[in-house]
Amino acid sequence: RVQLVESGGGSVQVGASLRLSCVVSGDINGINCMGWSRQAPGKEGEGVAVVYTGGAYPYYADSVKGRFTISQDSAKNTVYLQMNSLKPEDTAMYYCAALCYGRSTPGLPTNRFEYRGQGTQVTVSS
C-alpha cells in the first residue's frame, strides 16, 4: 500500500502563490505516475497535474497551464505542486495521488488514481 500526506494549503488572496507538498511512503514500486487532483464544493473532481514515471513531460489541466508546476524530489520521496497567480476558481480541496488509471491527454490529465491523500484545502479570495 502507498501512503500520501499533503501539506501546504491555506487561505490566500488573488494572485498569490502556494506550494503544496506530498510525502510518499509505502510500496512505491510499480507506481506509474504521481499527480494532483482537486475538488471544489458542488463540482466534479478534476485532474490538475500528472507526471508519469519516465515520461517526457507532465500533463496539466488547461485551467492551470502556465500557472501550476508539478515536480518531484526522488531523494525525499516528495511531490510538489507550485501554484502561482492563484484565482478564486482555484479554491478546492487538493489531493495528492498515485498510480494512474485511464489516459492523460494534453490539457486533460487523468483523474483516476489508485491512491489519494487526505487532501489539503486551498482557498483563494478576491
Three-state DSSP at 108 gives strand
User: What's the confidence (pLDDT) of residue 55?
Assistant: 81
Three-state DSSP at 4 gives strand
Distance CA 68, CA 7 (A): 16
pLDDT above 90: residue 30: no
Q: What percent of the chain has pLDDT over 90?
A: 89
User: What's the confidence (pLDDT) of residue 56?
Assistant: 82
Average pLDDT of 82-106?
A: 96
Evaluated on CA atoms 90, 94, 98, 101, the torsion sign reads: negative
Average pLDDT of 22-51?
A: 95
